[in-house]
Amino acid sequence: MYVLVRDLLDRKVIEGAKLLAGEKGLDHPVLWVNVMEILDAPDSLQSGELLVTTGFGLADEARYRDLVMQLKNRGISGLVIQVGYYLSAVPAYIIKDAAYYNLPVIEIPAKDTFSHIMRTLLASIGFEGGSRSDVDTVFLKDRAKMLADTFAPNAWDRQTETTLLFLLSVSSANSALAGFTESLERLRTYFASCGDWTRLESTGEKALYMVCLKKDCCRQDVFLDLTDLLTQISRELHVNVLLGASTLWEPDRMERAFEQALQANRALQAIGVKKGVCHVDNIRFFEWFDAFHQKNNALSFAYDILKPVISHDHFHKSTYLKTLRAFLANDCKITETAEKLFIHRHTMKNRIDKISQLCALDFSDWFAKQQFTLALMVYDYFM
């Protein structure tokens, strides 16, 4: 049995909700909840959806004079407008048209966040599997569809992997997740440094980043930087961050890109990593890597191999581990790695000589390089 708009009001699901117009439409069933801050894409709405918005731009009657008619034609169940951000009150023309078309218009106060409203309404209509995590995912998926249209047209170059989607989830021994907000900001700052366009949406214990990379940035370099940054966040903020990633080729593939980022994030959770980033293209490798991790006493293996470098970094405040990671990722090429790390070639060579001395590592030995590469993977994701 469907939940009706009337039921949401009678149950006082959202405190302070007030019906302004459309009383004859209160028996419309609510099949889903959609959130839009900018009401420029009414054609994307589906029949039976309850639309929630802050009403950005609705004061411009000339621009939105046909909005209520369009919403009615789409078959939505009702319009919920949160005042206090962009509107002090719902515009009179919206109320007048809603009364004419029998479309319920409900005003709610600004005290609740969109994510709270979304979770509350979804739970009220009987969303199956409505745990906090699931509802957060649904909310971010809806926001992702809106965000795709905000990027510059030249972001969608089919020939290059310019736009990446990152779905973030966190865990912490501290249930309050005190470091969550700072983690988001550190990541936002990093993405701003390597992206021409960046967008962030967050709710609960999840977040979504969209990043249109600068032309001089490649995915591998970004993932190496993120690996180092997530290690810092874990050590300093005691928050473990997992990033599932995918490539967004064009706006109409947003839903698929989101599902792929979610798949990559869940792959990291399934193998029990503490922190890290995984692109959907690399899921099979991580599944294999989990088998290696489970069967080979990998933690002690990794620590024993990397201990000389880790100890040196700790006591001398050096960055040899980061240097080693970048050097191996760039096929042990001195010049290319130095350029990526923004250091002089001679400085890079001195560091590699020191690492080689500390670890008794011969970088010309293929097997030795693979051993250290695997040790770094275990360290970066499980330690």
What does R_g of the chain's alpha carbons equal in angstroms?
A: 25
Provide the pLDDT for residue 43.
79
Which pLDDT band, with edges at 50, 70 and 90, does 158 fall under?
very low
Percent of the chain, pLDDT > 70?
90
Is the pLDDT reported for residue 157 higher than 70? no
Asked whether residue 290 carries a pLDDT value surpassing 90, the answer given is no
Q: Which of 224, 5, 232, 23 is nearest to 121 (CA)?
A: 5
In this prediction, residue 231 carries a pLDDT of 92
224-243 pLDDT, tens digit each:
999 999 999 988 888 889 99
Write down the pLDDT at residue 178.
63
Distance CA 274, CA 249 (A): 29
9 near 19, Cβ under 8 Å?
yes
Instruction: Report the pLDDT averaged over residues 9-16.
Output: 88
pTM of this structure: 0.64
Which DSSP helix (H) or strand (E) runs through 227?
A: helix 219-237
Residues in CB range of 42: below 8 A, 6 or more apart: 67, 70, 71, 74
User: Is 132 a residue whose pLDDT tops 60?
Assistant: no
Query: Letter for the amino acid at 157?
Result: D
- Note the pLDDT of residue 129: 45
Rounded mean pLDDT, 338-356: 92
Higher-confidence position of 177 and 297? 297
Exposure pattern of 306-339 as b/e (b: 16+ CB <10 Å)?
Answer: bebbbebbeeeeeebbbbbbbbbbbeeebebbbe
Q: Is the pLDDT of residue 175 over 90?
A: no
Query: β-strands 206-213, 240-247: how paired?
Result: unpaired
Q: 95-99, 124-128, 324-328: which has the minimum mean pLDDT?
A: 124-128
Q: How confident is the model at residue 130 (pLDDT cuts 50, 70, 90)?
A: very low
Average pLDDT, the chain: 85
CA dist., res. 328 & res. 302, Å (int): 15
